[in-house]
Amino acid sequence: MASKSQPDKRQNRKRILFSFNVDLESALGVVFQYLMHNPKMPSQMGKQKGVEAIAAFWRPFAFQMQGQVNDDELKVLARESLMTLQRQMELIAETFEVELPQSEAVTPELEVALERTVERTVERVLQRYVGAGALSRPATPTLPTAEGVTSTDPMLVLPGEEGVGFEMDMFQEFKSVSSKDLMS
């Protein structure tokens, strides 16, 4: 409450009236009825949830158009919106026992390629440590070679990996490592 010496700033604020009339029998009318007449929450809370949903969708765009917020602040607003929308998506998925939609950014092909890249990177790092003597490679039983096994499917060959002989034992130079060396 404002003191007598200071005027109430809320009285001097500019306001906007947002009013919306919708047919009760329409899909949007059903949503509004749920928000305003839900026995599990007061009408004011339902209205607030509706406003929060609108804000989550449009807040970063609105502040961008206003032009008084810098890029870092816009990114914070965008992340907040995404987190709000993600929580709602998770609630819907859990309540109705459906899976969240998969992001198109990570396709199954990309996931396989990323997995192969990680495997190759780990293998190279291990080779460097073994080559430098920091790690010893345990003696492994020799497996039958897969001579003549090749793939003509371009999806199975990563860019830059064409022509690599996978039947070759990449650790051949380390076969002389004894089990005593492993214990040291």
Please write down the HEC assignment for all residues of 86-133: HHHHHHHHHHHCCCCCCCCCCCHHHHHHHHHHHHHHHHHHHHHHHHCC
Name the 3-class secondary structure at 62.
helix
Confidence class for position 146, pLDDT limits 50, 70, 90: very low
Question: With 60 as the cut, is the pLDDT of residue 40 above it?
Answer: yes
More confident residue, 7 or 72: 72
For residue range 152-161, what is the model confidence (pLDDT) as tens digits?
A: 555 454 455 5
Domain ranges of the chain: 19-96, 103-138+169-184
The amino acid that residue 170 corresponds to is M
- Measured CA to CA, the distance from residue 83 to residue 110 in angstroms comes to 25
Name the 3-class secondary structure at 141.
coil
Question: With 90 as the cut, is the pLDDT of residue 9 above it?
Answer: no
CA 77, 78, 81: angle at the middle one, nearest 5?
A: 85
CB 87 within 8 Å of CB 52: no
**What Rg, from alpha-carbon coordinates, does the chain have?**
31
For residue range 75-123, what is the model confidence (pLDDT) as tens digits?
A: 999 999 999 999 999 999 999 999 988 776 667 777 788 888 888 888 8
Q: 28: burial class by Cβ within 10 Å (0-12, 13-18, 19+)?
A: exposed
Note the pLDDT of residue 165: 44
The amino acid that residue 79 corresponds to is R
Note the pLDDT of residue 23: 93
Confidence class for position 142, pLDDT limits 50, 70, 90: low
Confidence class for position 150, pLDDT limits 50, 70, 90: low
Q: Minimal CA–CA distance to 176: which of 140, 123, 134? A: 140
